[in-house]
Every structure is written in structure tokens, then in C-alpha cells.
Structure 1
Amino acid sequence: MRTILFLFSAMGVVGLAYWAYMENFKTQTALSEVEQLQREISTARGRLGVLRAEWAYLNRPDRLRDLADINFDGLGLLPLTPDQFGYVDQVAFPEPELPPITDPIETMADTTGEAQ
């Protein structure tokens, strides 16, 4: 009986060791994937910074003004000035259309003025 108990205990220890090894392996794999993702995120952030710098460089007002002047014949673009802007209360918004009355309700009013 004692031998069987030792045998089951040894098998349990071996089984737990195998489980611990597999969990350790899964953890190491997950950690390496996280490191790879962090490297990719860092690279993407670096590219995003470069793209933002290029966008800011390409959208310089003096450059856009020069491009508008160069391409005036083809595009007809004019430079923006402050007097080209208006206020919201100057905008003529269309009046909303009222839907047609399809089911009118008949009401009767007491026109005699007497209380009942």
C-alpha cells in the first residue's frame, strides 16, 4: 500500500512539474510576443512622428500661398483673408418644412362663454 502511495505521489510530482514547465513556456512565449509588439509600437510611433513632421512641413502657410500663386491659372485659388469669414448669425438656414396634416382632430369650443 505504501509503494502505491509513493508511486502516485511521484506521478503527481512529475505531472505537476510538467504542468509548471508548460506554464513557464507559455509565459515566456507571451512575454516575447509582448516585447515584439512593443518594438512594433515604438517603430510605428517613430514613423508617425516623421509623418507629422512632413505634414507640418508640407502645410506651411508660405508654401501653400506660393503654390496657390503658381497654380492660379489652373485652379483659381485666392489667398484667405480675415474679411472672408462671417458669423453664424449671418448664415441663412432654410426653414424646416412642416409635414402635411393627414389626420385632423375635430374640436368643439364653447363660443357662448357660459360655464356648464
Structure 2
Amino acid sequence: MRTLAYILTILAVFGLAFWAYRENYATQQVLKETRGLRSNIAAAQVRLSVLRAEWAYLNRPDRLRNLAELNFDSLGLVPLRPDQFGRVDEVSFPPSGLVIEEGVEVSAYGQEDDQ
């Protein structure tokens, strides 16, 4: 009986050692992937900051004004004037007493209908 208990204990220790070995390498792999993802995120943030700086540089008002003047004939641009805008009282808003006669049944995505 003792021999069986010793054998089962030894097998349990070997099983736990094998499990710990696999978990160690799985954890190391996940940590390596995490480091890779973090470096990818950092590189994307650097690219994004460069793109934002380029966008700010290209959208300078003086540059856009010069481009508009150079391409005035081909674009057909006209300067903005106050009479080109409408007044708020000219906007037709929907009636305030809006009544919904027929409802629409809405269900969450992925739920099955009972019909």
C-alpha cells in the first residue's frame, strides 16, 4: 500500500513539474508578444505624431491662402460675404408636435427572435 502511495506521489510531482514547465514557457511567450505589441504601439504613436505635425504644417492659413490665390481661376472660389449666409428664422424646422403612429421593434444584435 505504501508503494502505491509513493508511486502516486511521484507521478503527481512529475505531473505538476510538467505543468509548471509548460506554464513557464507559455508565460514567457505571452510576455514576448506583449513586448512586441508595445513596441508596435510606440511606433504607431510616433508615426501618428509625425502625421499630425505634417497635417498642421500643410494646413497653415498662409499656405492655404497662397494656394487658393494660385488656383483661383481653376477652382472658381469667391470670397466669403455676410450675405451668403442665411438667418436662423429662414430655416424650416420639423413641426414640434411630431407624433409617431407606428412603432418600430428594435432588438439587440445577435439575439434570436421568438417569432
TM range (shorter): 0.7 to 0.9
Query: Percent of aligned pairs with the same residue?
Result: 51
Task: Name structure 1 gaps, 5 residues minimum.
Answer: 100-116
TM-score by length of 2: 0.73
What's the counterpart of residue 35 of structure 1?
35
Q: Is 2:91 the partner of 1:93?
A: yes
Deviation for aligned residue 1:2: 1.2
Task: Name structure 2 gaps, 5 residues minimum.
Answer: 99-115
Deviation for aligned residue 1:77: 2.1
Letter in 1 for 2:34: V
Measured at CA, do residues 95 and 48 of structure 1 come closer, stay the same or move farther in structure 2, by a change above 3 Å?
closer
Alignment partners' CA distance in 1, 2:93 and 2:16 = 77
Render the CA deviation track for 1:58-97: whole Å, top value 9, x for unaligned: 000000000000000011224557x5786x9x23111536
Superposed, 1:9-48 pairs within 5 Å as 9-48=9-48
Letter in 1 for 2:73: D
Deviation for aligned residue 1:24: 0.9
CA RMSD of aligned residues (A): 2.5
1:15 alignment partner, SS class: helix
Q: Is 2:62 the partner of 1:74?
A: no
2:49 alignment partner, SS class: helix
What's the counterpart of residue 59 of structure 1?
59
Q: Which has the larger radius of gyration?
A: 1
Alignment partners' CA distance in 1, 2:26 and 2:66 = 59
